[in-house]
Each structure stands twice: as structure tokens, then as C-alpha cells.
Structure 1
């Protein structure tokens, strides 16, 4: 399954689900990244961490370790 970590700058993708449990899962969902949300990858730092995305009309930076828990459809 492809994750947000695999997406390239300029890609617009749809979230299929959130992996993980507990606090990590809740943190990702609290940022507005939920099943069905459209996410646009804006930038990826030179070493891949962090990843800048746009979700639900606002910009957000997330770590690569968080991005690999976000499954894409």
C-alpha cells in the first residue's frame, strides 16, 4: 500500500486510512488528516524530513515517520 511518505511534491492524493494506534493516530487525526481527506504535497525537505502538505485549506509540516502511517488510495 502506498503511503504519504511515497508521494512526490505536486501530488494531490486521498487518504485511505491511518495506521498505528493510540496517541500517534489521534495526533494525525487531530491535524485534520482523516479518511477521505484530500492532501497536496507542497515540499519535501532535502533529506526528506519534514514534508510540507496542504490539507483542508491549511499548510502543515509533518515528519516522515508520521507520513508513513497515512495510507493513500
Structure 2
């Protein structure tokens, strides 16, 4: 892993190949940040994945971090023209990449 660009590098026997930026979770984003959803993953809990998809966290959806509660949880997110609160455990299931707006 390169320390400067946040990209994963893997040797394929003929040199080094840059695979792309590592996915981040929605829980890692700062207030005011916009991100695009890459996917939703919950280890062993398909009900959580389905619920997050139903809430609009589908690949390609743009999410904005609106604000955090005083104790940092839950966090209010804006996705698909409405706002939804998620706890950290739920937000960690949503993998995103930062988006420019």
C-alpha cells in the first residue's frame, strides 16, 4: 500500500499494478463530505444489506454527511433527496468513494 496516494499496489510477477483506491465506509467521512456508494456489505446479515438498499444506498447513489449527534452517533445522511440517520455499525456496511459536487 502506498502511503501517499491511498492506492493498493499488487505485484503480478511482471511489476507493480495499481488496482485503485481502497473503499472507505460511510462512517469514516467527515461532515459536509459527498460520496458515491460503491456497494453494501454486511457479514452474515443479508437483512441489513436489504434494508440499506431499500433506504436508497445503492451503487452510484450520492450521499452527503449532514451532521452528527452530540455523542457522534447517530449520523444524519442525505441520500436521494431525503435524510436518514444511521448508527456507526450500519454506516460501516456502506462502502463509498469520495465524489466531487
Give the TM-score normalised by the residue count of structure 1.
0.93
Match of 1:44 among 39, 61, 68: 68
Match of 2:37 among 6, 11, 15: 15
Offset of residue 41 of structure 1: 0.4
Ranges of 4+ aligned residues in structure 1 off by more than 2 Å: none
Aligned partner of 1:32 in structure 2 is 56
Higher fraction of helix: 1
> Secondary structure in 2 aligned to 1:32?
coil
**Gapped regions of structure 1 (runs ≥ 5):** none
State how far apart, in whole Å, the 2-side matches of 1:34 and 1:49 are: 22
Match of 2:84 among 57, 60, 63: 60
Aligned partner of 2:14 in structure 1 is none
The higher relative CO (CA closer than 8 Å, separation ≥ 6) is in: 1
Offset of residue 47 of structure 1: 2.2
**Gapped regions of structure 2 (runs ≥ 5):** 1-22
Higher fraction of strand: 2
Q: Which has the larger radius of gyration?
A: 2
Aligned partner of 1:2 in structure 2 is 24
